[in-house]
């Protein structure tokens, strides 16, 4: 554990601080919260000592837990329970961890986490959420024990590329039949088997994303991102942040109320050449680009902590134009 600076009554544990080409949201979340709560104690939590964000300078402390694939779920629940009992907030940035915590904790004021039923609705493919938000869902087909002939027919009918996706995260684009078996094998290894994998049609267009924060069914705020540049993994490298279109925000507010959503969230879409939005997935936590929204005046993690604790947020400056880009920085790290 690393400790620097002064402690504060507001103590927030932020899990998932990996920083790389496919980053977790922890570092961006910490930047948002440090801007809003300068004296807060922010604790970085990750499951690898090599996680690039553990020593990021907005964190006061860092904790390395056992690797997630080897962690004892019961022991981890006990660990988090101890953190919560001490009055600290646990803000998870990891989909699988959120599902574990949702099974064991309910309505904890210092654990912003969607309910288990809401998380099940957010599992891929998110058809239930698509209907509630009025968003189209690209055609998909379960891999399971389907024969090569059946999978091949789906790919021929839909056209290449096709995506191989996992039930909670992970997506591999394939551009020919020869790439199918290696991609399915790789994804099945990550998830234990292929029972819950599926294929999904590729939709050509611009990647757009909605980030939001909610507390006990009340929408606290939302931001709309148009990705201007992407990494190979499809992550935002630069983008333009604006308000969510009014009709979509209204449906989002209704969805949040119906599910009693608490915590962050991200709705990933593609806007096709006809301006139709296609829903790709819903992530039950803040996205890694969340500090870009704060730069544009929507500090969603701060609004969430304010709602959960009653602490007053220090408003940051709103920059114009509301675009951002990422840069490569050197930072201390564990070796």
Question: Which sequence spans correspond to the domains of the chain?
Answer: 2-113, 120-135+204-325, 140-201
Fold that domain 2-113 belongs to in CATH = Rossmann fold (3.40.50)
Q: Are 30 and 59 in contact (CB under 8 A)?
A: yes
pLDDT at residue 9 in the model: 75
Q: Where are the alpha helices (DSSP H) in the chain?
A: 26-36, 73-85, 95-104, 116-122, 127-133, 148-158, 180-191, 246-259, 290-295, 300-309
Let me know how long the chain is. 335
Burial (CB < 10 A; 0-12, 13-18, 19+), residue 177, is: middle
* Structure tokens that stand for 35 in this block: 């801007």
CA 102 to chain centre: 16
Residues 246 and 243: their CA atoms lie apart, in Å, by 8
Residues 157 and 147: their CA atoms lie apart, in Å, by 16
Backbone angles phi, psi at 308, to 5 degrees: -75, -30
Q: Where are the alpha helices (DSSP H) in 86-208?
A: 95-104, 116-122, 127-133, 148-158, 180-191
Question: CA 181, 187, 188: angle at the middle one, nearest 5?
Answer: 85
User: Which CATH architecture best describes the domain 120-135+204-325?
Assistant: 2-Layer Sandwich (3.30)
Residues 194 and 171: their CA atoms lie apart, in Å, by 13
The Cα-based distances of 49 to 45, 67, 68, 334 in angstroms read: 10, 9, 12, 6
Q: What is the mean pLDDT of each run of 10 residues along the chain (335 residues)?
A: 50 95 95 96 96 95 96 97 96 96 91 94 90 95 91 95 91 94 93 91 96 98 96 88 96 97 97 96 96 95 96 75 86 74
Q: Which of the listed CATH numbers 3.30.1490.20, 3.40.720.10, 3.40.47.10, 3.90.199.10 matches domain 140-201?
A: 3.30.1490.20
Say which DSSP state 124 is in. Answer: S
Residues 147 and 6: their CA atoms lie apart, in Å, by 60
Q: Strands 277-283 and 198-201: what pairing?
A: unpaired
pTM value is 0.93
CB atoms within 10 A of CB 89: 23
pLDDT at residue 2 in the model: 41
Residues 216 and 303: their CA atoms lie apart, in Å, by 13
């Amino acid at each position: 554990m690393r400790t620097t600076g002064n402690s504060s009554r507001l103590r927030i544990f932020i899990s998932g601080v990996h920083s790389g080409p496919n980053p977790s949201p922890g570092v961006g979340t910490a930047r948002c919260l440090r801007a809003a709560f300068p004296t807060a104690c922010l604790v970085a939590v990750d499951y690898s000592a090599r996680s690039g964000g553990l020593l990021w300078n907005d964190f006061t402390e860092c904790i390395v837990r056992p690797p997630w694939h080897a962690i004892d779920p019961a022991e981890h629940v006990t660990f988090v329970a101890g953190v919560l009992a001490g009055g600290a907030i646990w803000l998870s940035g990891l989909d699988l961890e959120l599902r574990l915590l949702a099974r064991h904790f309910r309505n904890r004021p210092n654990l912003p986490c969607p309910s288990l039923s809401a998380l099940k609705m957010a599992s891929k493919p998110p058809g239930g959420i698509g209907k509630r938000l009025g968003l189209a869902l690209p055609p998909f087909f379960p891999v399971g024990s389907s024969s090569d002939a059946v999978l091949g027919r789906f790919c021929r009918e839909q056209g290449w590329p096709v995506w191989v996706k996992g039930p909670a995260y992970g997506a591999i684009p394939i551009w020919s039949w020869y790439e199918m078996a290696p991609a399915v094998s790789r994804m099945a290894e990550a998830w234990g088997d292929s029972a819950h994998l599926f294929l999904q049609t590729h939709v050509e267009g611009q990647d757009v994303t909605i980030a939001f924060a909610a507390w006990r069914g009340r929408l606290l705020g939302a931001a709309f991102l148009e990705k201007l540049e992407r990494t190979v993994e499809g992550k935002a490298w630069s983008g333009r942040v604006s308000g969510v279109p009014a009709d979509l925000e209204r449906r989002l507010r209704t969805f949040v109320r119906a599910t009693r959503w608490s915590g962050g969230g991200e709705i990933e879409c593609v806007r096709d050449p006809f301006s139709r939005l296609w829903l790709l997935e819903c992530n039950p936590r803040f996205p890694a680009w969340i500090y870009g929204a704060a730069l544009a005046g929507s500090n969603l993690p701060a609004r969430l902590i304010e709602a959960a604790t009653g602490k007053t947020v220090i408003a940051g400056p709103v920059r114009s134009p509301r675009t951002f880009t990422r840069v490569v920085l050197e930072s201390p790290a564990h070796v």
